[in-house]
Every structure is written in structure tokens, then in C-alpha cells.
A and B are shown apart, each in its own frame.
Chain A
Amino acid sequence: MAVDGSDGAVPSTSEGVNPTPDLELKLPARAENVAVVRHAFGGFAEGLSVDEQTLADIKLAVTEACTNVVIHAYEDGEEGDLEVDASIDDQLLTVVIRDNGRGIVPRPDSPGLGLGLPLIATLAASLELGRDHGDHTEVRMTFRLDEDRDPQ
């Protein structure tokens, strides 16, 4: 499934991506570690000189995706991992959030408002949901780093 929120053509996020990401993070899927990932992306963007608005969008989208893993991926009491990869290819940042949980399934008892994925789709140039070759659940999103932004 793909959600493309951009007007321009965005390369398929599943193809042509550097097999070794520029950044890999793996942490226990706990609420406190969402902040660690968010902070790490602040450092990642500092190294790339990303403009403030784009950085805010990236951090918000990554935070939403990581929060989804913490809340939804694992059964209560189950300890699992949260994996984050980020790759830069020609001003296109690809971020993959991965877990080894139960997958993206409807939850009638969901504690959230269901706004996370639509929000990510709005902020990112593209969004794909699926499973990787290791059967991990994967949220793959791309961001254009060279986009002209109108400060609001």
C-alpha cells in the first residue's frame, strides 16, 4: 500500500535504496525511546543542514511512526524492538521504522485517535506500509530535503 502526498514524481521507496542505511538505530520499543529517536534525528538533520520546517516535519512523522510501534506493535507486557533506518539519496531522505510485532491491523480498542498514519502521509513525500523480507512490519517514508518551503 502506498500513500503519495506529493505532486512531483517520487522514486519508489522500495527500489534503489542504499542497502546500508546512513543511520541505523535499534532500541527497546518503549515510550521513552521515542524521544531518543526524535533527538537522534535532530542530530542527523544537524549534520545535513536541513531547514527548520522540513526538520519539524521529519521529526513529527518519525515520532508518530515510532509511537505507533510502542502503542500498537506488541501485546501488553511483550518486550520488542523498535528499529529505525535513515538513508539519503540525492536530496531524498528515506526513513524506515520497523518492528517485529503483530503487524498493522485494525484495532477497535485502539487508545489513539487514528490520526498518526494520515498525518505522516501529509508530512512525507511518500509513505508505504508493509513487511520486509524478514517479515518485520515496516513504515517507509520519504522526505524531500530540497523543497522550497513558504514559512507560515
Chain B
Amino acid sequence: MIPDEEHVFNKAWVGVDSGPLSAPVLGRVVGMLAARADCPIDRLDDALLVADAVAAKAGSFSDDGRIRAQIVARMGSVELLIGPLRDGGADGLVSSAALPGVGNVLEQVADEIESREGADSDEYLLIRLDFDAQRSSTTDRMESDVT
């Protein structure tokens, strides 16, 4: 389930059990897709922060404790679509990212956070980070890839 199939440069679907494997795996996949989409280093760091938060908490909001996420790299953005989640899981996952003295990590770094309903009526959480692609040569390549 990708909300908008247009301008997708690359995508990956990840399913991993919640636990010690989830953060290293999800972080690397998100990091690779974001980096190849020419995400600048500060936003790459934000993307990894989001991946770590999702890896740490998303399992608590799925029916079987498993983390499932689709990562979509577009020109100038990277999106994580997490789910299916149980009812109220999207809001719960966002709320769980609040840290004392820091605030809500997801809300601070993401440009869009939205609860979505899939075709199967399951709940998903969309987290989008926007950025300015860095190298024009790669931007050209991305544009030619998506047209």
C-alpha cells in the first residue's frame, strides 16, 4: 500500500520481529534508501532517528509484535508506512515517541505524520521526511528514473 505511486524512486518492504534485530535492520534499510535519494546528512540523521523510534516501539502496536514497514524514497522525501497496526496503534506509536524534556521526537523531525486506513481496513502510520536532494547529477538520474 503506497498512498501515491507517482515519483517513487525506490522502495522496500521490511518485516522484522520486535527485538534486538529490529533497530539495526530497519535503520540500515531506511539509511540506504535515504542516502541513495541524496538525503543531506542532517535529514539522514533524522531519518535514522525515526527508524530507531519505530523499531523500538512499533511492535507494541501490532497484533503479533512484529514490525512491518514500507519505506518509499521519492525525489526530495522519504516515507515510512508502518503497519498494519491494531486500532489506535498509529496514535499510540506517535505518543510513545515523546521523551521527557525533549518532546515528541517524531513530531519534531517529520514533515507529515498521518494515520491511514488500508484497503483491508487496517491502520497504518505514515511518517514523511522532506529534504533538498544534494547532488544535481543524481537528481537528474532520479528524474529520468521516475519519468
Contacts and interface: CB of A to CB of B under 8 A. Distances in A.
Contacts of A56: none
Interface in B10-57: 10-17, 19-29, 31-33, 36
A74 interface: no
A23 B17 CA distance: 7
A80 interface: no
Contacts, number: 72
Contacts of B13: 24-27
A40 B28 contact: yes
Given A20-B66, A22-B16, A24-B15, A44 B25 contact: yes
Given A22-B17, A24-B16, A47-B20, A33 B25 contact: no
A43 B27 contact: yes
Contacts of B66: 20
Interface residues of A, number: 22
Interface string A23-40: 111111010110110011
A120 B11 CA distance: 27
A35 B26 CA distance: 14
Contacts of A46: 24
A23 B15 contact: yes
A36 B15 contact: no
Nearest to B20: A47
Contacts of B28: 36, 39-40, 42-43
A48 interface: yes
B21 A25 contact: no
A26 B15 CA distance: 9
A35 B10 CA distance: 13
B21 A44 contact: yes
Contacts of A48: 20-21
Nearest to A25: B14
B14 to A, nearest CB: 6
19 contacts: A20-B17, A21-B15, A22-B16, A23-B16, A23-B21, A24-B13, A24-B14, A24-B15, A25-B12, A25-B13, A32-B10, A39-B28, A39-B29, A40-B25, A40-B28, A43-B26, A44-B25, A47-B20, A48-B20
Interface of A: 20-28, 30, 32-33, 35-36, 39-40, 42-44, 46-48
Given A44-B21, A48-B20, 17 more contacts: A20-B17, A20-B66, A23-B16, A23-B21, A23-B25, A25-B13, A25-B29, A28-B10, A32-B36, A36-B28, A36-B29, A39-B31, A39-B32, A40-B28, A42-B24, A43-B26, A43-B29
Interface of B: 10-17, 19-29, 31-33, 36, 66
What 6 A-B pairs have minimum CB-CB distances, sorted nearest first?
A43-B24, A24-B15, A47-B21, A43-B28, A26-B13, A47-B20
